[in-house]
Structure 1
């Protein structure tokens, strides 16, 4: 599968598995791409499979969730700090 088709598959899986809207799924994939997350996939066609796309969709979504939880905890700590 082409690199572009691989990214499209990940985006589609994010919308199907996690019920993200198209805009959120595209942003997640574009941000990951901007951070060089998919460099190896671009270089090695063998990494561009449906199975790998599923793994990457899960990894991207979980990373997003972990980031949101971390930010939430940091905000709570900041609110509870005494001046």
Structure 2
């Protein structure tokens, strides 16, 4: 998946796994992105996988909830 698709998937997973409203999940992902949480993903799209999206969703939720 592309970098943008990965961010969308992480956002969706946060809403589904943690019962977070769409807008709140978007804000979490945007904050993580601003903190360069996803910088490696942009440099190496090969790590933009569904498995990694699950791990990233958990990490982003824990850090930015």
User: Does the alignment reach a TM-score above 0.5?
Assistant: yes
Partner of 1:35: 35
What per-residue deviation string (whole Å, max 9, x for no partner) do you get for residues 22-43 of structure 1? 0100000000001111000001
Q: CA RMSD in A?
A: 0.9
Runs of 4+ in 1 over 4 A off after TM superposition: none
State TM-score, norm by structure 1. Answer: 0.75
Structure 2 distance, partners of 1:16, 1:28, is 14
Larger radius of gyration: 1
Structure 1 distance, partners of 2:35, 2:44, is 18
Residue segments in structure 1 that go unaligned for 5+ positions in a row: 66-83
Structure 2 distance, partners of 1:22, 1:5, is 16
